[in-house]
A and B are shown apart, each in its own frame.
Chain A
Amino acid sequence: MIRRNGLDICLLGFLIFSAGCVPISKTIPISGSPDDLPGCYALFPSKPWESVHRIEATLRGGGSFSMVGVTKGEPSERQLQSLLLTAEGFILFDAERRNSRITVRKAVPPFDSPAFAKGLMEDVALLFLPPQAKPTSWRRDANGAMICNWEGPEDPHTEITGSTDSGWQILQRDKQGQVIKEVALSGPFVNGLASRMELRASKPASYRLRMTLVQPSP
């Protein structure tokens, strides 16, 4: 009996770990009503905003650290400014993204590589800016949740599903259809900003960012 229980636990463990490896199936919605289209943008702030987040970063291998993230956005200009600070308030990183051009104002080691700046600002854009083009397909399901797809020849494929009530999910896939970044946003939403966000990246680097909104404004 004890052996049987042990076997069950092993099987359960195997199933849990296996579940983590199952690729997330691609949702292909049919084109929806034009009235539903604004729903694809509902998770992104539409007016100028600024925020302070507590960020807990976990890297592959188990290393983790915490920082304060300060972000300011101007959605109509597709402009973002992002700062990383220590608990004391020392600025480790300060960069701006205007359209797709990144300008680094300050970067202290180990945050001073161009690859870090590009990766960080891409993550910030994924969290706060919708893809620039119109979705290639969208629909609202029976529960009122939106399912939106952006699929272009150049950019990564982006899928957005959910609602402000149930929370949102953003998936970014490479050209082979594999998920490279996965974001979960949950409420309550304050001034259009999610209280909690979790970003899991698997390619090219594997890491997880957990962000808690501590100071929304204005």
Chain B
Amino acid sequence: MKKFLFLSIFVTTGLLYGAAALCQDWTSLKEASRNIRSVQAEFLQKRYLRILTKPLLSQGKLFFYAPDSIRWEYLTPLRSVTLQKGETIQIYNFSDGVWKPEMAQAIESRRMVLAEISQWFQGRFDESKGFKHFYSPGPPARVVMVPGEGINRFVRRIEIVLSVRPGVIDRVEIEEPEGSRTSIEFRNVEINSNFSPHVFEKP
């Protein structure tokens, strides 16, 4: 009986200690993210499809300015850019030598995705409307986003791997229900650097 009591105290103490450490890290993460004004980065997207033995590679650039300006641009294999400035979202595809605007229907479907990305870059994972978040202090620290009903038809799980640099995201892993997955690695990340606000307005 004593043995079980000791074990129980040990486990409880351990859990409390773990919870305190986790709480500390989560607070630090939130604090660091609060200081992020802008993010500029390159990314390499690897799309793992069952049909391909090697992943489909795409490269691009990201610009973010808090709270809700985003430029998510693919450079290869297709040139395409999604721009958000406040409530205004525009999508352009480069075809036949010119930028062509995307249909309104396609724009609305991106609104929720862009809102999620904006929250991630500000460490506001707990404000997601479509996902529940679970924090793991690591290393590396990770935030696992589990979708609610409806979204789980398209996304099974999102894992956001955080850098040792406070508030910086290293990699995002997206798993789909049918087994495909996407990994987006961020490189040359610059925090709070200056760039033209026009990047959010024109392709």
Chain A contacts to B: CB under 8 angstroms: 50, 52, 54, 56, 58, 64-68, 70, 72, 81, 83, 85-89, 91, 214-215, 217-218
Contact = CB atoms under 8 A, between A and B. Distances in A.
B49 interface: yes
Given A64-B100, A87-B74, A89-B56, A56 B51 contact: no
Given A68-B78, A215-B77, A50 B96 contact: no
A64 B56 CA distance: 23
Interface string B39-59: 000000101010111101110
A68 B77 contact: yes
Q: Which of B49, B180, B182 has most chain A Cβ within 10 Å?
A: B49
Contacts of A54: 77-78
Contacts of B38: none
A218 to B, nearest CB: 6
Contacts, number: 64
Nearest to A56: B95
Contact of B95 (A64, A72, A218): A64
A215 B54 contact: yes
Interface residues of B, number: 23
Contacts of B56: 52, 68, 70, 85, 89, 215
B199 to A, nearest CB: 18
B14 to A, nearest CB: 42
Contacts of A68: 56, 77-78
19 contacts: A50-B52, A52-B52, A58-B96, A64-B95, A64-B100, A66-B78, A66-B95, A68-B77, A68-B78, A70-B49, A70-B52, A70-B56, A81-B51, A87-B58, A87-B79, A87-B80, A217-B53, A217-B54, A218-B53
Given A66-B95, A68-B56, A89-B182, 7 more contacts: A64-B96, A68-B78, A85-B56, A87-B58, A87-B78, A215-B77, A218-B54
B76 interface: yes
A68 B93 CA distance: 12
